[in-house]
Each structure stands twice: as structure tokens, then as C-alpha cells.
């Protein structure tokens, strides 16, 4: 959700009773300041791509100056930043893709661990949400029962939230569903593409990182909506790298024109469940109501007869 979840979206989610996060992505100081300003006095958090933050650590200090409620670190070693976040009074959120990484996060003081399954949009690992979440929950209960576990990956409605709770998580992190929020910085055309897509229209790939000259660790791939660009280069990453100079120039031009046949739209498998664009507050309200209804149905099914 880097540069997609801005201050307006984070504010709307927090106002509705969730915790909105500003997606700071690879970092841009001016953008960071503008988005915290847009969030106003509402309690919001923010999130960084950890390996990228390591190349410009001053951005963490800048973010902490805005007094975020929480800082989320994903995709890299959070240890160098943990002390500063905790000293600033923010909750430390670590998103992980394995049990081993979850245990390391707890050992450096994480308050919240997000177990992210591969169904998620954007970057992630190889483990699926359904088996990963309870495995992380069990590991946390043995290591530190005070750590909150949150599920992520493939959750876009209240049934998914209820399922996460049944797996032992205490909440869910949603990204893809909020791509289609009114307040998201996604373009109108990209929102329409998300609404029209199904899970089979997504692919995990490195091609969009290669073309954007982003040096992602190779074990993290990005789930995005398929388009003509991914169809051309998926499985031909070596050829893409050989033609990078000319292809990158074409990609930049296409991105500037919002050509969705070329530019990336990161989205998860749960796009099947997204059928409209609406305000973030309405999304949160629907999620909670659907989750409550799902749990009531489950209780009735399990009641003695």
C-alpha cells in the first residue's frame, strides 16, 4: 500500500474504529509530511519497507516526529529500528511470512506480529494464510502471550475476518480491499480494474520490480494483476534484464500515462470479493457486521441439538 494508503485513507479507517496506516513504501520525505498533515489529529500509524528504510534511516526519525500510534516494518530486518520506535511511544508492528521471522520479531520487542500469507497483494512470501496464522499464534503463545497476532493475505470481507479470529488471530490487516476505497490514492481506472478482477487474474512475479530498478530480495515476489507487460515477461526475467534500458524507458512513459496494460497494480487473490468502490468507513462497518454475522452462524451450527 506504499503511496496508495495516504493520510486521508488512514484517517478514515481510524475514524471508523480500525487503525489506519499510511503506506510510506520506499520513502519520500515531502510525501510523508503531506500525508501526516492530511491525517490531522487522528491517531494513525505508518508502514515502511524495511530494507529500503535501511538505505535512508532518517525517514524513520521524520515519521516519529509526527507521533504515529504505530510503525509497521515489513520485508527486512527490523532490529536496527525497534529501539527508536519503542522509545518514541509507538507500537512496533512487524509483518512476517514465517514462524521463524515471527519469533525473531518478538525477541526484538514487537507488540504486534502480522502473519502474512502469500495470497496477499503486493510483496510477500510463499506460505499460505490458513496454515501460517495458527502456526504463528501457537509460537507466540509459547514465547510471549502478550504479543498480538494479526492475520493478512486473502482477507477482503467479514467472513475472512471471522476466519482469522477462528484461527487464533486477534484481528486482520487488509490492503487490497482498501485499494477500492474512495480515499485511496489509486487511480479511478485502477480501482475499476480491481473491482472487475478475479483471483485468477493475479500473479506473483518479479518483473515489476526488475523494470522499476528495485533491488528486492529475491525471496519476496509481488502479487499483481496480470497485464500485457507481465504476460510478455513472466518467466523471461533474464531476457527482461538484458533489455532493461529500452524496456524501462517504455515502462516509465506508460506509467506516466496510467497505462494499466503496462504499469503495475498490486492486488491480492481476494479481488473476487471486491464488487464496488465505496468510502473506507463503509468498508470497515461492513467488515465488522459480516464478521459478527458469520460468527453467529457458526455458533448456531455448533450448538447442541
Instruction: Kindly report, residue by residue over 237-261, the tens digit of the pLDDT.
Output: 999 999 999 999 999 999 999 999 9
Average pLDDT estimate for 39-44? 95
Cell reading at 234: 513472466
User: What are the C-alpha distances in Å from 163 to residues 47, 160, 229, 288, 294?
Assistant: 25, 5, 35, 12, 9
User: Does the pLDDT of residue 232 top 80, yes or no?
Assistant: yes
Average pLDDT estimate for 220-239? 96
Q: pLDDT tens-digit profile of 104-125?
A: 999 999 999 999 999 999 999 9
Please state, in angstroms and rounded to a whole number, the distance separating the CA atoms of residues 292 and 139: 27
Q: How confident is the model at residue 2 (pLDDT cuts 50, 70, 90)?
A: confident
User: Does the pLDDT of residue 305 top 70, yes or no?
Assistant: no
| SS3 of residue 129 by DSSP | helix
Return residue ranges of the chain for CATH 3.20.20.70. 7-182+278-294
Q: Which residue has the cell 515477461?
A: 233
Taking the CB of residue 37, how many other CB atoms lie within 10 A of it? Answer: 10
Across 206-229, b (16+ Cβ under 10 Å) vs e yields bbbbbbeeeebeeebbbbbbebeb
Q: pLDDT tens-digit profile of 136-172?
A: 999 999 999 899 999 999 999 999 999 999 999 999 9
Please state, in angstroms and rounded to a whole number, the distance separating the CA atoms of residues 232 and 240: 9
Average pLDDT estimate for 192-211? 96
Pairing of strands 221-225, 202-205: antiparallel
Segments of the chain assigned E as strands = 21-25, 45-49, 70-74, 91-96, 112-116, 122-124, 148-152, 172-173, 202-205, 221-225
User: Does the pLDDT of residue 302 top 80, yes or no?
Assistant: no
Q: pLDDT tens-digit profile of 73-109?
A: 999 999 999 999 999 999 999 999 999 999 999 999 9
User: Does the pLDDT of residue 71 top 90, yes or no?
Assistant: yes
Domain 7-182+278-294, CATH: 3.20.20.70
Output the pLDDT for position 176.
97
Output the pLDDT for position 1.
86
Helix axes 7-15, 280-302, angle to 10 degrees: 40
Please state, in angstroms and rounded to a whole number, the distance separating the CA atoms of residues 196 and 201: 10
Amino acid at each position: 500500500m506504499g503511496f496508495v494508503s495516504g493520510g486521508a485513507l488512514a484517517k478514515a479507517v481510524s475514524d471508523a474504529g480500525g487503525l489506519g496506516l499510511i503506506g510510506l513504501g520506499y520513502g519520500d520525505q515531502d510525501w510523508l509530511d503531506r500525508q501526516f498533515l492530511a491525517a490531522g489529529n487522528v491517531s494513525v500509524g505508518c508502514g515502511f519497507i524495511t530494507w529500503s528504510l535501511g538505505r535512508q534511516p532518517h525517514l524513520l526519525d521524520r515519521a516519529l516526529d509526527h507521533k504515529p500510534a504505530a510503525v509497521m516494518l515489513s520485508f527486512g530486518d527490523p532490529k536496527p529500528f525497534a529501539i527508536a520506535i519503542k522509545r518514541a511511544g509507538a507500537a512496533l508492528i512487524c509483518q512476517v511470512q514465517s514462524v521463524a521471522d515471527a519469533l525473531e520479531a518478538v525477541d526484538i520487542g514487537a507488540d504486534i506480529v502480522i502473519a502474512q500469507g502469500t495470497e496477499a497483494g503486493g510483496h510477500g512470501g510463499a506460505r499460505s494464510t490458513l496454515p501460517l496464522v495458527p502456526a504463528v499464534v501457537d509460537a507466540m503463545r509459547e514465547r510471549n502471550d502478550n504479543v498480538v497476532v494479526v492475520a493478512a493475505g486473502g482477507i477482503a470481507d467479514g467472513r475472512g475476518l471471522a476466519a482469522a479470529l477462528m484461527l487464533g488471530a486477534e484481528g486482520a490487516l487488509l490492503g487490497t480491499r482498501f485499494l477500492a476505497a474512495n480515499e485511496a490514492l489509486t487511480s479511478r481506472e485502477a480501482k475499476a480494474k480491481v473491482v472487475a478482477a478475479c483471483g485468477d487474474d493475479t500473479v506473483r512475479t518479479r518483473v515489476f520490480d526488475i523494470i522499476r530498478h528495485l533491488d528486492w530480495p529475491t525471496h519476496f515476489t509481488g502479487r499483481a494483476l496480470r497485464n500485457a507487460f507481465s504476460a510478455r515477461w513472466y518467466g523471461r526475467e533474464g531476457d527482461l534484464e538484458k533489455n532493461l534500458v529500452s524496456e524501462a524507458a517504455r515502462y516509465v512513459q506508460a506509467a506516466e500515462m496510467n497505462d494499466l496494460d503496462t504499469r503495475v497494480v498490486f492486488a491480492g487473490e481476494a479481488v473476487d470479493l471486491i464488487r464496488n468502490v465505496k468510502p473506507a468507513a463503509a468498508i470497515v462497518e461492513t467488515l465488522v457486521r459480516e464478521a459478527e454475522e458469520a460468527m453467529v452462524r457458526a455458533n448456531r451450527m455448533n450448538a447442541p441439538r
